[in-house]
Structure 1
Amino acid sequence: MATQAPCAELLLDNQLCFALYSTSLLMTKVYKPLLQELGLTYPQYLAMMVLWEGDGVTVGEVSSRLLTDPGSVTPLLKRLEAEGLLTRTRSSVDERVVELFLTNKGLDLRERAKAIPTCILSASEQSIAELSALKNELNVLRASLQKAL
């Protein structure tokens, strides 16, 4: 079998997508033990953060904020409801719309979760300013990629 010279455009370490993917995997691994103490998975944590920002949001709003479709977020929300963290209620205005409300247990969990960002900051070995600049750059990239779809 003949070997070919490496193609710089296709080297794994030259790919932005791999840098993002591998960093995301490692970020999730850092979160895992912190979230296990709360009894949450990473996707559940993201959904709870949406609810902690504003109670009474709809399933559609959660899926929109998480950049996913409502069908994939619904099972996750049902599990959170089964854990007693939220209630799902049909809207009185439009029964097709499901509204989400935190329970006292869900609100209490928010207090316990407040320590997580500090733990992530420490693990990153970056300053708040550095991470903020990186987040802003990623938000710009995400917006551009959304427009490309």
Structure 2
Amino acid sequence: MQERIRPDVAGYRLLQDRVGRDYCWWMRQAASDATLARFLETAPVNIGLLRHDQKIRGFFELDLADPQSVNLSYFGLFPEAIGQRVGRAFLDNVLHLAWRGGPRSVRVNTCTADHPRALALYQQAGFKVMRRVEEIWDVPDRLGIPVPQHLRV
């Protein structure tokens, strides 16, 4: 695992697309290049990669804006790594990083658009469901991100 990388805008968009395309990860993809560049340069985040055999297999992003409550903003595997039994070990390593600074809590948000095993994985790692929220998203067509039929309104 590699942490504290600083990808450029194109590299970050690629990570978001490779992990999140099938799960409607659209919010960062919708940001302008200038907005995303500013975020990547200034945001208090730890972005990292899962590597195996010299290839990137997944990525994570820890939001460190509140040192007492770290947020696992993004976490996932590239499609070819899913089912290879690396997700739990990857998550455990990322959570070790998240707790390293001594926060009171570490949070993660997931949704029905995420991988079907995401919630169970987070619960196995010790997360508890704190609340449920219903949202309606307006995913811009220009992003070319497929919205699964069961999520359409």
What TM-score do you get using the length of structure 1 for normalisation? 0.27
Structure with a larger share of its residues in strand: 2
- Greater helix share, structure number: 1
Instruction: Determine which structure has more spread, i.e. the larger CA radius of gyration.
Output: 1
Which structure has more RCO (C-alpha within 8 Å, separation ≥ 6)? 2
| TM-score of the two chains, using structure 2 as the length reference | 0.27
